[in-house]
């Protein structure tokens, strides 16, 4: 296995980051998770755009341009001979003396990891996963801007611990006002009276790239969509529930706390539409590679 570390491909066993790196010491950094399908990185431009947004929001200069990052991501994918893959691009503040001042770090650390994506069990998509609503609340928007895809995940980890103790696969977090926000690694959707509902950005969520695509697909399919504020009761009284992220795609939910749901036709239809979008995207990128002679 090879890792792209600060501009070079190195064997995984030789890929190391300093104990004085501020990403390690303080969680001072950002990241993006991407999925590769048949050697094509899905929605790469959107992920890079969000990475640079996160960097801007924390005043972190990224030493490479987007084109260089694209090349590095594909180099890592190909060096590991991967078809269907999970990729993670991490940028930290870099190495520096102990202290919170970002100015202590002269150069960011850039790491790209790619490994084979192990598919989720087929039973997850046929029968759904279990959710629970965690006691741990989502960080205040005024404390940490949810638009920053930060390395600091302790808030989410505490909710995940709750989920494991409750025998649930994923935890849904409420915001400080008690409204539904998001999962530890996912965005939440549910159908209520035929309307596709999802917490809005104002609820303190990260605007997931998969979430955005699902909203577009839902509109194309003629679903009514409502982004807004919802209490937990709205989830319990809904007809179908699913969660989304880059690796989940569209993951059906069979239970939230004590409320059970069937895996519904609308959820399956959206997942089918999502997979169709992936196939079209991959075919388009591959066609472009062929025309440019990079096939």
What pTM did the predictor assign? Answer: 0.94
**Domains of the chain: total:** 2
Q: Is 126 inside any structural domain?
A: yes
Q: For position 29, what pLDDT does the model report?
A: 98
Q: 183 near 153, Cβ under 8 Å? A: no
The residue among 116, 142, 177 that closes a domain is 116
Q: Is 295 inside any structural domain?
A: no
59 and 169 co-located in one domain: no
pLDDT in tens, 192-211: 999 999 999 999 999 999 99
**From CA 66, how far away is CA 166, in angstroms rounded?**
42
240 and 177 co-located in one domain: yes
Q: For position 56, what pLDDT does the model report?
A: 97
Q: Is 16 inside any structural domain?
A: yes
50 and 149 co-located in one domain: no
141 and 100 co-located in one domain: no
Q: Is 294 inside any structural domain?
A: no
pLDDT in tens, 74-112: 999 999 999 999 999 999 999 999 999 999 999 999 999
198 and 93 co-located in one domain: no
Packing angle between helix 66-79 and helix 44-57, nearest 10 degrees? 120
pLDDT in tens, 159-169: 999 999 999 99
Q: For position 61, what pLDDT does the model report?
A: 95
The residue among 116, 136, 169 that closes a domain is 116
Q: Which of 126, 149, 160, 266 is catalytic?
A: 149
10 and 27 co-located in one domain: yes
Within the chain, where are the H helices? Answer: 22-26, 44-57, 66-79, 122-127, 154-166, 209-220, 232-236, 265-292
The residue among 96, 116, 136 that closes a domain is 116
pLDDT in tens, 116-138: 999 899 999 999 999 999 999 99
pLDDT in tens, 14-31: 999 999 999 999 999 999
The CATH number covering residue 106 comes to 3.30.470.10
Residue 288: pLDDT band with limits 50, 70, 90: confident
> What does the pLDDT average to over 266-295?
87
pLDDT averaged over every residue in the chain: 96
**175 is in which domain, residue-wise?**
122-279
127 is catalytic: no
144 and 274 co-located in one domain: yes
């Amino acid at each position: 296995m090879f890792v792209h570390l600060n501009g070079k491909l190195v064997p995984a066993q030789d890929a190391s980051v300093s104990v004085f790196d501020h990403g390690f010491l303080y969680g001072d950094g950002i990241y993006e998770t991407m999925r590769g399908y048949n050697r094509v990185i899905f929605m790469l431009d959107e992920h890079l755009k969000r990475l640079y947004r996160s960097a801007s929001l924390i005043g972190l200069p990224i030493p490479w341009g987007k084109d260089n990052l694209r090349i590095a991501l594909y180099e890592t994918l190909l060096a590991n001979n991967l078809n269907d893959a999970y990729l993670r691009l991490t940028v930290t503040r870099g190495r520096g003396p102990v202290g919170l001042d970002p100015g202590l770090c002269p150069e960011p650390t850039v790491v790209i990891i790619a490994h084979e994506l192990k598919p989720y069990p087929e039973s997850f998509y046929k029968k759904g996963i279990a959710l629970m609503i965690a006691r741990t609340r989502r960080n205040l928007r005024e404390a940490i801007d949810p638009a920053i895809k930060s390395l600091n995940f302790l808030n989410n980890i505490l909710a995940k611990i709750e989920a494991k103790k409750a025998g649930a696969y994923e935890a849904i977090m409420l915001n400080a006002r008690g409204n539904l926000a998001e999962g530890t690694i996912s965005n939440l959707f549910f159908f209520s009276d035929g309307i596709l509902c999802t917490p809005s950005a104002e609820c303190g969520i990260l605007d997931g790239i998969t979430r955005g695509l699902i909203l577009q697909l839902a509109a194309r399919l003629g679903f009514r969509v409502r982004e807004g504020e919802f209490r937990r009761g709205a989830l319990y009284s809904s007809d179908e529930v699913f969660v989304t992220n880059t690796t989940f795609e569209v993951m059906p939910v069979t239970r939230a706390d004590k409320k059970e749901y069937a895996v519904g036709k609308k959820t399956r239809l959206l997942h089918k539409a999502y997979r169709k979008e992936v196939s079209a995207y991959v075919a388009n990128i591959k066609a472009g590679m062929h025309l440019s002679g990079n096939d």
